Amino acid sequence: MMINLGDFKGTFGDPEPSTGVPLVALHLEQQPFLEKFEREIGNGVFLHGAFSVASVREQGLDLEPWMHLLPAGSRHFATNSIGELFFVAPDQKLYFLMIHSGEATELQTSPDEFFAWLTRPRNEGLYAALGQFHAEPRRLRPKQILTYEPPVALGGAEEPDALVAIEASDALARLAGIHFDNEK
């Protein structure tokens, strides 16, 4: 299948300099859709932190507390501005991990269609979280995401004015504690 990257580039532009990570560093080197993305667009953080693909934001995160929500062997390849994570499973199915609700769902698209699918109007708001990101002018540092304060899991509102910038690793650890510490 033909992988269309033009819509992604039209929406998100080029990656910010020095934010990309080689696919091999993320154990994603066997993913043709990401290899094509890396060649034609480049890995990194896009649009002032609105979205990232194989970037410093994806590198070095402690995802262990979240992995029970996904098929074994799934690999994290992208993140939206509010810290929701995208994974590819060994069977080539794609998953969306919602850190604010502590849930994951299989995406109804293939790896080859993912980047064009993401830029469809409904998906830009729902999965790319562009509405939340653009509600106020924002510029995130490469390893930052936006998270709700107070957290939605503790009764906070999912409103753009409740979003605060935080390091992705800190947000993931905090929300994993809220969602999963009582399950142990």
pLDDT in tens, the chain (184 residues): 566 788 899 989 999 999 999 999 999 999 999 999 999 999 999 999 999 999 999 999 999 999 999 999 999 999 999 999 999 999 999 999 999 999 999 999 999 999 999 988 888 778 878 777 777 778 999 999 999 999 999 999 998 889 999 999 999 999 999 999 865 4
Omega prior to 22 cis, within 30 of 0: no
**Has residue 98 been placed in a domain?**
yes
The 8-class DSSP code of residue 61 comes to -
**Has residue 1 been placed in a domain?**
no
Res 4: pLDDT = 75
Q: What are phi and psi of 70, to 5 degrees?
A: -125, 160
Average pLDDT score over the chain: 92
Res 2: pLDDT = 60
Res 57: pLDDT = 98
**Has residue 136 been placed in a domain?**
yes
Res 184: pLDDT = 44
Res 39: pLDDT = 95
In the chain, the number of structural domains is 1
Res 134: pLDDT = 74
> What is the radius of gyration, based on Cα positions, of the chain?
15
**Has residue 165 been placed in a domain?**
yes
Q: If you search the block for the tokens 């269609």, which residue do you land on? A: 113
Domain encompassing residue 16: 6-183
63 Rama sector, left if φ>0, alpha if ψ -120 to 50, beta otherwise: alpha
Distances, alpha carbon 152 to alpha carbons 7, 28, 102, 131, 161, in Å: 32, 31, 10, 17, 13
Distances, alpha carbon 153 to alpha carbons 12, 129, 145, 172, 179, in Å: 30, 18, 17, 13, 7
Res 97: pLDDT = 98
What is the rounded CA–CA span in Å between residue 84 and residue 32? 23
